[in-house]
């Protein structure tokens, strides 16, 4: 794995991460968060449930796929037991509630992206079973890590010791050309929205604002990058409303997404619920772009200041966007990057996680 240039020494341990997806086929969100956390340790293993048993390498990490059948909990426990017997310095870091609950041994560290019961309830699913599962994982975890104060507030009550560490931008560890990492001074005449295309993203608001700007600023576009279950539905909505100034790109490869960020006039991050952090906000700052975000969930924690938050109605977002485009609200690239480096930079993040891993090793040896 290409390590970022930082003076912070990685913890001398191996970390076994419990993830979700096969990173060769889907790597955004949790997979990239794990990738950044792995810069804080000497060796990293990524364990996930898949259609078959397999072992491969992905960006420097050894990935182990466990076949998802009725016997996977047995295989998981045997695997962790064998790893602990071979490597006394192993730290188990869970991101996946189900896998963490199935482990008979204690979990050293667990990262909470969104409270499981809260998220399921917001999506209309019964929350009692999920709340029990969530509580079980927290009770058997030595240290719980929350990606924001908001994520902590939405988690079920727990007596486990917890800590809040904000995410960093995964693009600091992705092997992108230097000019893509820094961005350029030129911008395009479009707003970039990077979201999973699902109900909680609040993308109807983008369509409503685009309808206003279609007449007001005909040359200005709204570019939506991301895939999800409602992608085709939103493409159809845009077509039905004759919104030629809105484009739903679907999945965009990393290098193309970096180019979209670096040339965007503004980054917009709408959300209705279930946003435990707001990674596109931080990515926008990394590329030196002004960011507008919904005034919900964890957005107020990561935004530059409250002036750049909008309420979830078309009038509020339209007003903020007009102010950015006329220059009365926009931030310059240096200010955005400085805000990113000070609050979310990889060097700071890596130091915090290296400390957590060393503490986990010390607690395990005690």
Condensed to tens digits (0 to 9), the pLDDT of residues 20-78 reads: 999 998 877 899 999 999 999 999 999 999 999 999 999 989 999 999 999 999 999 99
Residue 156 — pLDDT band, cuts 50, 70, 90? Answer: confident
- What local confidence, expressed as pLDDT, does residue 8 receive? 57
Give yes or no: residues 81 and 217 share one domain: no
Burial class (CB in 10 A: 0-12, 13-18, 19+), 93: buried
Give yes or no: residues 227 and 314 share one domain: yes
Give yes or no: residues 152 and 188 share one domain: no
Q: How many domains does the chain have?
A: 2
CA distances, 362 to each of 9, 81, 299 (Å)? 17, 19, 35
Lowest mean pLDDT among 101-105, 159-163, 236-240, 353-357: 159-163
- The pLDDT tens digits of the residues spanning 215-224 come to 999 999 999 9
Residue 87 — pLDDT band, cuts 50, 70, 90? Answer: confident
- For residue 4, is it within any domain? no
- What local confidence, expressed as pLDDT, does residue 32 receive? 93
Average the pLDDT over 247-271 and give the result.
94
Give, rounded to a whole angstrom, the gap between the first and last alpha carbons of the chain. 31
Q: What percent of the chain stands above pLDDT 70?
A: 92
- What local confidence, expressed as pLDDT, does residue 185 receive? 46
Using CA atoms, how far apart are residues 171 and 286, in angstroms rounded to an integer?
8
Residue 227 — pLDDT band, cuts 50, 70, 90? Answer: very high
Residue 366 — pLDDT band, cuts 50, 70, 90? Answer: low
Domain of 297? 176-344
- The pLDDT tens digits of the residues spanning 46-62 come to 999 999 999 999 998 99
- For residue 307, is it within any domain? yes
Residue 211 has pLDDT above 90, yes or no: yes
Query: Can you state the angle between helices 333-344 and 279-286, rounded to 10 degrees?
Result: 130
Give yes or no: residues 69 and 106 share one domain: yes
Give yes or no: residues 336 and 355 share one domain: no
Residue 158 has pLDDT above 80, yes or no: no
Count H helices and E strands in the chain, helices first. 15, 14
Q: What is the CATH number of the domain that holds 154?
A: 3.40.50.2000
- What local confidence, expressed as pLDDT, does residue 187 receive? 64
Give yes or no: residues 183 and 317 share one domain: yes
Query: Can you state the angle between helices 314-325 and 204-216, rounded to 10 degrees?
Result: 50
- The pLDDT tens digits of the residues spanning 261-310 come to 999 999 999 999 989 999 999 999 999 999 999 999 999 999 999 999 99
Give yes or no: residues 255 and 241 share one domain: yes
- What local confidence, expressed as pLDDT, does residue 78 receive? 98
Pairing of strands 61-67, 54-58: antiparallel
Assess contact for 207 and 243: CB atoms under 8 A: yes
- What local confidence, expressed as pLDDT, does residue 13 receive? 86
- Comparing CA positions, the residue from 181, 227, 232 lying closest to residue 25 is 227
- For residue 61, is it within any domain? yes
- What local confidence, expressed as pLDDT, does residue 1 receive? 40
- What local confidence, expressed as pLDDT, does residue 130 receive? 87
- For residue 5, is it within any domain? no
- For residue 198, is it within any domain? yes
Dihedral sign of CA atoms 147, 149, 151, 157 in order: positive
- What local confidence, expressed as pLDDT, does residue 362 receive? 77
Dihedral sign of CA atoms 39, 44, 48, 52 in order: positive
User: What is the strand order of the sheet 246-250 is part of?
Assistant: 246-250, 221-225, 190-194, 266-269, 291-294, 309-310
The SS3 of residue 47 is: strand
Query: Residue for token digits 């990490």?
Result: 61
- What local confidence, expressed as pLDDT, does residue 4 receive? 44
Give yes or no: residues 19 and 160 share one domain: yes
* String of DSSP letters for 209-266: HHHHHHHH-TT-EEEEE---TTHHHHHHHHHHTT-TTEEEEES--HHHHHHHHHH-SE
Give yes or no: residues 58 and 144 share one domain: yes
Average the pLDDT over 111-128 and give the result.
81
Average the pLDDT over 322-333 and give the result.
94
- For residue 1, is it within any domain? no
Give yes or no: residues 98 and 191 share one domain: no
Give yes or no: residues 106 and 180 share one domain: no
- What local confidence, expressed as pLDDT, does residue 160 receive? 56
- Comparing CA positions, the residue from 139, 8, 128, 17 lying closest to residue 76 is 17
Q: What percent of the chain stands above pLDDT 90?
A: 77
Share the mean pLDDT of the chain. 90
- What local confidence, expressed as pLDDT, does residue 365 receive? 57
* pTM listed for this prediction: 0.89
Give yes or no: residues 21 and 116 share one domain: yes
Residue 180 — pLDDT band, cuts 50, 70, 90? Answer: very low
């Amino acid at each position: 794995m290409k390590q970022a240039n930082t003076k912070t020494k990685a913890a001398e341990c191996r970390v076994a991460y419990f993830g979700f997806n096969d990173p060769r086929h889907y790597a955004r969100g949790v997979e990239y968060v794990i990738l950044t956390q792995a810069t804080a340790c000497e060796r990293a293993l990524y364990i996930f449930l898949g259609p078959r048993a397999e072992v491969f390498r992905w960006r420097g990490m050894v990935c182990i796929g466990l076949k998802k059948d009725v016997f996977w909990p047995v295989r998981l426990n045997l695997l962790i037991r064998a790893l602990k017997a071979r490597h006394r310095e192993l730290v188990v870091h869970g991101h996946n509630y189900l896998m963490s609950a199935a482990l008979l041994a204690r979990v050293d560290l667990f990262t909470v992206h969104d409270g499981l019961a809260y998220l399921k309830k917001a999506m209309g699913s019964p929350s009692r079973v999920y709340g029990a599962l969530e509580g079980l994982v927290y009770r058997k975890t030595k240290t719980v890590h929350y990606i924001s104060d908001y994520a902590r507030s939405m988690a079920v009550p727990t007596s486990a010791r917890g800590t809040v560490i904000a995410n960093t931008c995964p693009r600091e560890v992705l092997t992108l050309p230097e000019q893509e990492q820094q961005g350029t001074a030129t911008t395009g005449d479009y707003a970039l929205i990077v979201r999973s295309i699902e109900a909680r993203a609040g993308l109807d608001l983008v369509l409503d604002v685009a309808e206003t700007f279609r007449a007001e600023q005909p040359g200005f576009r709204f570019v939506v990058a991301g895939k999800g279950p409602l992608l085709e539905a939103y493409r159809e909505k845009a077509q039905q409303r004759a919104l030629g100034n809105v484009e739903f790109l679907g999945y965009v490869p990393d290098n193309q997404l970096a180019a979209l960020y670096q040339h965007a006039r503004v980054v917009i991050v709408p959300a209705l619920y279930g946003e435990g952090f707001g990674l596109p906000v931080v990515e926008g700052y990394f590329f030196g772009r002004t960011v507008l975000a919904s005034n919900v969930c964890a957005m107020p924690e990561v935004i530059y200041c409250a002036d750049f938050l909008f309420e979830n109605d078309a009038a509020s977002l339209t007003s903020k966007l007009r102010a950015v485009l006329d220059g009365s609200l926009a931030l310059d690239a240096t200010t955005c990057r400085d805000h990113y480096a000070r609050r979310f930079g990889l060097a700071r993040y890596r130091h915090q996680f290296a400390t957590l891993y060393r503490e986990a090793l010390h607690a395990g040896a005690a």
